[in-house]
Amino acid sequence: MAKILLHPEHPVVQMFKLLTHIDVHELESLLHPEYIRNQCDLIFRIYGTRDTATAERRLCQLLKDCEDTAQTSGLSHMTVLNALGYNFMNSKDWVQAVNIGQELEKSARLAQDINLLVYQIGGIEIQARAFNELKLIMPAVRCLKQAMSLIAKRWGHNEPWRIELMVLQNWLRENGEIKAADDLKAEISSVTEIIDTD
């Protein structure tokens, strides 16, 4: 059998040196954000809207695992909250969706990390959609306006997510707020004209 000699600075040698210093027990106690995201995606793919009760149970267990694991990042916790909020919307449990949306928004806001702004906005959006389903239009509109403002401050007025949230125009119109709906429709038109010319 032939021997292969590798220089001590060879990447393979360096990789094995690194691997010998890893504490396997420490790795087992971590719930990496990517693992959590993949678990949430898997739960949605398997259960989706067909079995929201099982999805809720699995997501709640995943959330508990995040809370029980000391070194779990806030990102992992918020990823599960976001998935749980959407699951409550799938099951039409609007009150629980509002509660989870509020918890998600608060957690992301308190983290004061610009990278978590999408979770703050996501929490607000969950609340808005659930409030709308509960026929609480003014809180729904307030939430969407807040989300649109945060999006505009961070990514600009032409951000597609902001435009998507402008569906509140329909909510306003359905509830007799014709002037506010017309003003918003005019804003949408001006934004889409700018996008079309780009």
Domain end (from 71, 100, 126): 126
Say if 181 falls within a structural domain: yes
pLDDT for the residue numbered 192 = 61
Taking the C-alpha atoms of residue 66 and residue 93, their distance in angstroms, rounded to an integer, is: 23
Asked if residue 166 lies in contact with residue 150, where contact means CB atoms within 8 angstroms, the answer is no
Say if 140 falls within a structural domain: yes
pLDDT for the residue numbered 198 = 53
Taking the C-alpha atoms of residue 175 and residue 184, their distance in angstroms, rounded to an integer, is: 14
Mean pLDDT by 10 residues, the chain (198 residues): 65 63 53 85 89 95 86 84 96 97 94 87 94 89 86 79 71 77 74 58
Range of the structural domain that residue 50 is part of: 32-126
Domain end (from 107, 126, 145): 126
Asked if residue 116 lies in contact with residue 81, where contact means CB atoms within 8 angstroms, the answer is no
Total tally of structural domains belonging to the chain: 2
Distances from the Cα of 1 to the Cαs of 4, 10, 12, 148, in angstroms? Answer: 10, 22, 20, 67
pLDDT for the residue numbered 91 = 95
Q: In terms of domains, do 146 and 64 share one?
A: no
pLDDT for the residue numbered 1 = 53
Say if 169 falls within a structural domain: yes
Q: In terms of domains, do 112 and 169 share one?
A: no
Domain end (from 126, 153, 176): 126
pLDDT for the residue numbered 179 = 81
Say if 170 falls within a structural domain: yes
Taking the C-alpha atoms of residue 193 and residue 198, their distance in angstroms, rounded to an integer, is: 9
Beta strands in 39-136 (DSSP E): none
Q: In terms of domains, do 168 and 191 share one?
A: yes
Q: In terms of domains, do 114 and 53 share one?
A: yes
Dihedral-angle region of residue 180 (phi above 0 means left; psi in -120 to 50 means alpha; beta otherwise): alpha
Q: In terms of domains, do 39 and 117 share one?
A: yes
CA 12 to chain CA centroid, nearest Å: 38
